[in-house]
Amino acid sequence: MIAQEKKQHKLNHILILTILWLLGAVSDRFWLTFDKSVPAWDQADYLTGSLTYWRALQNVQLFSGEWWRHFWELSPKVPPLTYILTVPFQNIFGRGADEATLVHLLFSAILLTSVYSLGSKLFNQKVGFWAAVLCILFPGLYRYRLQFLLDYPLTAMVTLSFCCLTFWYRKKEEGRRKKEEGRKKVLLFLDREEGTGKREQGGKKVLLFWENFIGLISAKIDKLFPDQSLKDWLWATAFGLTFGLAILVKQTTIFFLFVPLLWVGLNILKKRQWYKLIQLIYSLCLSVAIFYPWARTNWLLMLTAGKRATVDSAIAEGDPNLLSLDAWIYYGKLLPYHISLPLLIIPIGGLIFYFIRLNKKQQNFSTQLHSFQWLAIFLIGGYLICSLNINKDFRYTLPLLPILSILLAFGLMQFPRKLGKQIRYFTIGLAILLMLLNLWPVGGIFLRQITAWLSPGAVYYAHLGKEWPHRKVIAEIINTDPYLRSTLGVLPSTPEINQHNLNYYGALKNLQVYGRQVGTNLKQVEQDARSLSWFVTKTDEQGSVKRIKKAQAAIVNIIEQHPNFQLQKSWQLPDNSNLNLYHNQFLPVEVNPLTKPKEKVQLDYIILSPKIRPGTTIPITYKWSGSWQELQSGLVLLTYRRENIAIPTVTKYIDNSPKSPFVRGTLNAPPGARGGSKTDNNVSEKPITKFIHDHGIGMGSLHPGMFQANQSEVGFEVIERIGMLPPSNIVPGTYILEATYLNRETGESYPITVQPPVRVEVDPEAQILPAPELDLVTQLRMWGQKLPLGIKGLETVFAEVGRVNQYDPVQDYTEQAEQALTYRLQQEPDNLELLYGLALSQVLQKDAEGAIATLTRVTELDSQNPFAYAYLAFVYLYDLNPGAAEMALKSALEIDPHQPEIRSLNGIAALMQGNLVQAWQDFRSQKSEVRSQK
């Protein structure tokens, strides 16, 4: 009878929770339907990630190692499970921000089920039920249920993982807890009986009945699962799977489960439960197996990004110092914001009443002691570790709330029976009313003031006003440059107007427009302005640009004042400020359709000065024509080779009309005019008699999505207006152009006829002409020339790579460089300069295998350069091969044992192999070398 009643209660609870889940889903969809806001920084960034994985999963190649490597590389900083789980919803309902948040229906179901199960396990079904109800009504949870962030999925997965850990670790305590609960109920029953004798006689009978009943239930369970260890292994497996999946949602899972796992491990060792220890190790190994492929691929970038996301962000946002009290009470002060005062104070009152009653009746507290202790381990451990993180944010402690809801639900259940029911309904009713007032701009001033007092900081109104113009901005850019992949320089950074959400709306349009924040470094402002064709500025509030205020003001001034840029369109924003879209009228790449189809790529003409100065960027214009497929997939390998006999030049002269981008203002000033005209050829200073200008047609900016629409029925012409850099040590004389076409997709190549022949004279006294920025492939080859210098060269490379990657968001220039240099090296296998450039392009693509092969060849040709071996060792370490790295570093140390960077790498290699003594010696030696160099 008792079992039947409990089963009925459980079914009722599940039915009611299902209804509440559906009501929550309807409420969320209703809110999202009317809301016209745009995603802020992180939300838009995560939405873009979901689109990236949606595209990847349209062409699955399960048995391709290369496909899997690329799949995990798509999200190098953030684990991708939430993105992957969003894909089915996007396939069914569409690819928009509101559709992506449908994945939260899944996580809500996981959260409610986990909380209900935990509460039932640790206390009883009623506590589990009310804890799940509270999770629906916590402002800290329903607010983030409406946003595409990782914190709500993380909360659900951490709760599920902790639930599985609880069921596994506390399995043997279940029978004892049920017996204690039964005894407690019997005692409560006896208290209601009249007469001492009757109490004693009836008590014995009921106790005997209860013990027999528990024995019967246990026998049935044992019959269903004859081997107790099988159930333990199943729960250990469940924990291993859920823990691994939780880490694949967000790495901060470890913040919340580290202390409970440590507690479990120590208790197992203390009690010498070796069987349990084996199960724990098995479950952790299973977790590692789940997240290892992603972590293995992205571990280095994950660590470096983690530093920026914690230390750098904390400094920028002014978070409290860890040595201050504020750092440790930061999240405690936010508790009313997360929960609301009614859901916090009333349950706490119930807990106080419980302890008062417990003390008066002198009842046994051991029934709930272990459950309270287990919840406290999770809550206190998670709170302390989150407080230890110097970067603090409102949403970082959300996974603590479901576990806290169990304690609060227990408190709600402790009021006297008749009064308690009314208190619970009043509390929940008030919480529902506060939720409605927090989500919708309804009610008068008085109601809003009451809401702000009872539920502070929880207002998250749906935006019911004018729409933001993001889609219109993207459409304007695509309509103007329909054949190009464009990068939009975003100069303001507000929650509504920022690089991430403009990038997201560009991604929705088949990745044709990318938004990037530029103008953040005052020294690079002019390069930023020269390198992009589209910019948006905003009047009034500029947002979070305080750190870069001077740089941002400088680039805004350039864009708004320079005659090359014209205002394309302007929109009034809901906050009454204006969003302005500017376009450079002198495009580096221009595409026009032709009336006649063309099969092979042709070079129609080149425009450049008849005389050029070595070591100085010169302006040059190429015009190519051909089919869309050939142009979009094409690389052009251009070689300017010295002629032995002087022949009159046959070139077109530069256009000096007022429309030329090469002669107006300082925006397009050459490197010489900016104090950096000369290039250092660090590989070889011997005179050379040729130079190259390899690059993708249109610098790789021809949008691949156009191919399906155009096929080969129509020809196209592509005009490139870019800079070219003859080396500083080139021999003066007349140079003639040789051109080769290379298809990036098929590997097909053929010579391009240059008719009439293009000749140019290299003259150290030639006039310096204003020029655009160098193409990115040329810049990468220049960085490669600095690699033999070691750390001095790397500092320049790192600074430049970060800048250039903003201009080419897909980093296509690295692939262009790799393919062009690989082709060149087939003719010149011992060209050290080309090998360094190829290695750099492979490293930037995280192609460890290719970089190892290239750098091995570099060490053979540059065998007396210790940095060549150091680069090889670094890639081996990235590939988690410390033994091979140590062998390479041995050669480096034989050449130069005093380089601190090489010593550090050697220490890391030793540490990864478990050689702590060698690692300690190398790190001490590295510090000594640094001090001696100072």
pLDDT band at 317 (very low <50, low <70, confident <90, very high): low
Q: What is the pTM of this model?
A: 0.88
Q: Is the dihedral of CA 194, 196, 201, 206 positive or negative?
A: positive
Residue 880 zone, left/alpha/beta (φ > 0; ψ -120 to 50; rest): left
Q: The tokens of 232 are what?
A: 């333990």
Comparing CA positions, the residue from 553, 625, 518, 472 lying closest to residue 38 is 472
Distance, CA of 588 to chain centre:
31
| pLDDT value at 666 more than 50 | no
Whether residue 488 contacts residue 477, with contact meaning beta carbons closer than 8 Å, is answered with yes
| pLDDT value at 6 more than 80 | no
pLDDT band at 197 (very low <50, low <70, confident <90, very high): very low
Residue 540 zone, left/alpha/beta (φ > 0; ψ -120 to 50; rest): left
Q: What average pLDDT does the segment 16-34 reach?
A: 92
| pLDDT value at 195 more than 50 | no
Q: The tokens of 814 are what?
A: 């690295």
| Residue 35 DSSP label | -
Distance CA 842, CA 822 (A): 11
- 832/667: higher pLDDT: 832
Place of tokens 């010149």: 828
Place of tokens 């089920």: 113
Q: The tokens of 528 are what?
A: 């930023």
Instruction: Kindly report which listed range (389-403, 669-683, 807-821) carries the lowest average pLDDT score.
Output: 669-683
- pLDDT for res 367: 66
Whether residue 729 contacts residue 687, with contact meaning beta carbons closer than 8 Å, is answered with yes
| pLDDT value at 549 more than 60 | yes
Instruction: Kindly report which listed range (69-73, 685-689, 746-750, 850-854) carries the lowest average pLDDT score.
Output: 685-689
Comparing CA positions, the residue from 918, 912, 913, 863 lying closest to residue 892 is 863
Q: Average per-residue pLDDT in the chain?
A: 86
Q: What is the pLDDT of residues 503-540, one digit of tens each?
A: 999 999 999 999 999 999 999 999 999 999 999 999 99
Q: Measured between alpha carbons, how far is residue 726 from residues 447, 530, 669, 785, 786 in Å?
A: 72, 20, 17, 14, 17
Q: What is the pLDDT of residues 58-76, one digit of tens each?
A: 999 999 988 999 999 999 9
Q: How many CB atoms neighbour CB 685 within 10 A?
A: 11
| pLDDT value at 917 more than 90 | no
Q: What average pLDDT does the segment 863-875 reach?
A: 95
Q: What is the pLDDT of residues 568-611, one digit of tens each?
A: 999 999 989 999 999 999 899 999 999 888 889 999 999 999 99
| pLDDT value at 675 more than 80 | no
Percentage, residues of the chain above pLDDT 90: 69
Q: The tokens of 128 are what?
A: 């589990």
**Residues written for the chain:** 934
- How many DSSP H helices and E strands does the chain contain? 37, 16
Which residues, 6+ apart, have CB-to-CB distance to 251 below 8 Å?
Answer: 79, 302, 306
Distance CA 165, CA 159 (A): 10
